[in-house]
Amino acid sequence: MSEAPILFTREAGIAEVVLNRPEKRNALNPEMIVRLARAWEEIEADPTVRVVLLRGRGDKTFCAGADLGRLTPLLTRARPAEDEWDEAMLAEPKILNRAMLRGTGFHIPVIGAMRGAIVAGGMELALACDLRIIADDSTMGLLEVQRGLIPAAGGVARVSRQIPSAWAAEILLVGDTVSAEDALRMGLVNRVVPAAEVEHTARVLAERMSRNSPLAMRKAKEAMMEASGRSIVDAFAIEDAGIKVLLRSNDAREGSKAFMERRTPNFTGS
């Protein structure tokens, strides 16, 4: 296996992104941030990718958040740039946002397959996923208030929209971790399975989704993101715009034709 801290592969419509720094609990240093941002950009530009599988190497920690010894001192200018990755971080102020999918333009579905601790920036990455599969012994938490910070890489905005406000306030203001069972009860995750089954469960789901129309999935995700927080009238308008595009697509015609012919559709994303 490559020693790069971010591994990135594509096969059969599924892109796989792996946080590959298990000896440091997959903590995000400048190189990981830059490589992760570039991986998302490459995935977004690839029309063959239908779904993304995001996971962390190792079974103890999906991601412990920022590498406080490397990333934070660089961003606060407490230390100068020491290599090309540090320089890339400082040259592109928005690269952290792109790495954490902190935006509304990435419309490819992302499945998180997570074992062990999912905390701080690691939980912010989890919240950026559309579907989340975690181990039954995992814990999740946004711990930033304990360090005099807030989870400002998408954590506050996402958790407050994804679960009821009382749960969101407890996660954000208390800063303790929650168990996998509680995460499922709160609606933070889709499925909780034994640790040995996390990656298999997520991959089966990714393979199932890879047979869907990629255009339809992207439009569905786009509509969900754009409609969040809008009035019902505005949300209906967003739906209307999405279905207009889909009704003119080859995938919509293929889907109906395949249904009538009782066969598996051959979607092309066009």
**How many domains are there within the chain?**
2
Both 170 and 119 in one domain: the answer is yes
Of 7, 8, 39, 206, the C-alpha closest to 109 is 206
| Per-residue confidence in pLDDT tens, the chain, 270 aa | 458 999 999 999 999 999 999 999 999 999 999 999 999 999 999 999 999 999 999 999 999 998 888 888 888 888 888 899 999 999 998 999 999 999 888 999 999 999 999 999 999 999 999 999 999 999 999 999 998 999 999 999 999 999 999 999 999 999 999 999 999 999 999 999 999 999 999 999 999 999 999 999 999 999 999 998 899 999 999 999 999 999 999 999 999 999 999 999 999 999
Residues 53-69: tens digit of each pLDDT: 999 999 999 999 988 88
Q: Kindly state the tokens that stand for 36.
A: 């992760």
Is the same domain home to 188 and 225? no
| Distant-in-sequence contacts of 216-222, Cβ < 8 A, 24+ apart | 216/246, 216/251, 216/252, 216/255, 217/50, 217/51, 217/108, 217/109, 218/107, 218/108, 218/109, 219/107, 219/245, 219/246, 221/107, 221/108, 221/109, 221/130, 222/107
> Is residue 33 a contact partner of residue 89, using CB atoms and an 8 Å limit?
yes
Instruction: Assess if residue 200 is contained within a domain.
Output: yes
Residue 269 lies in a domain: no
Examine the domain organization and report whether 19 and 134 are in the same domain.
yes
Coarse DSSP helix, strand, coil percentages of the chain, rounded to the nearest 5 percent? 50, 15, 35
- Classify residue 66 by its DSSP letter: B
Q: What is the mean pLDDT of the chain?
A: 94
Structural domain that includes position 51:
6-209
- C-alpha–C-alpha distance, residues 192 and 40, integer Å: 26
| Residue 71: per-residue pLDDT | 85
Q: What is the pLDDT of residue 1?
A: 46
- Give the tens place of pLDDT for each residue, 117-147: 999 999 999 999 999 999 999 999 999 999 8
Catalytic positions, written as ranges? 124, 144
* Cβ within 8 Å of residue 165, ≥6 positions away: none
What CA–CA distance (Å, rounded) separates 29 from 89? 10
Residue-level pLDDT at 103: 87
Q: Are residues 229 and 99 located together in one domain of the fold?
A: no
219 within a domain of the structure (yes/no): yes
Q: Same structural domain for residues 199 and 91? A: yes
Domain-located, residue 1: no
Q: Which helix (H) or strand (E) holds 85?
A: helix 84-91
CA distance 26 to 48: 28
Q: Are residues 65 and 94 in the same domain?
A: yes
pLDDT tens per residue, range 142-172: 999 998 999 999 999 999 999 999 999 999 9
84 and 23 inside one domain? yes
Task: Name the domain boundary from 194, 209, 224.
Answer: 209
Contact yes or no for 30/86 (Cβ under 8 A)? yes
My answer on whether 27 and 114 are in the same domain is yes
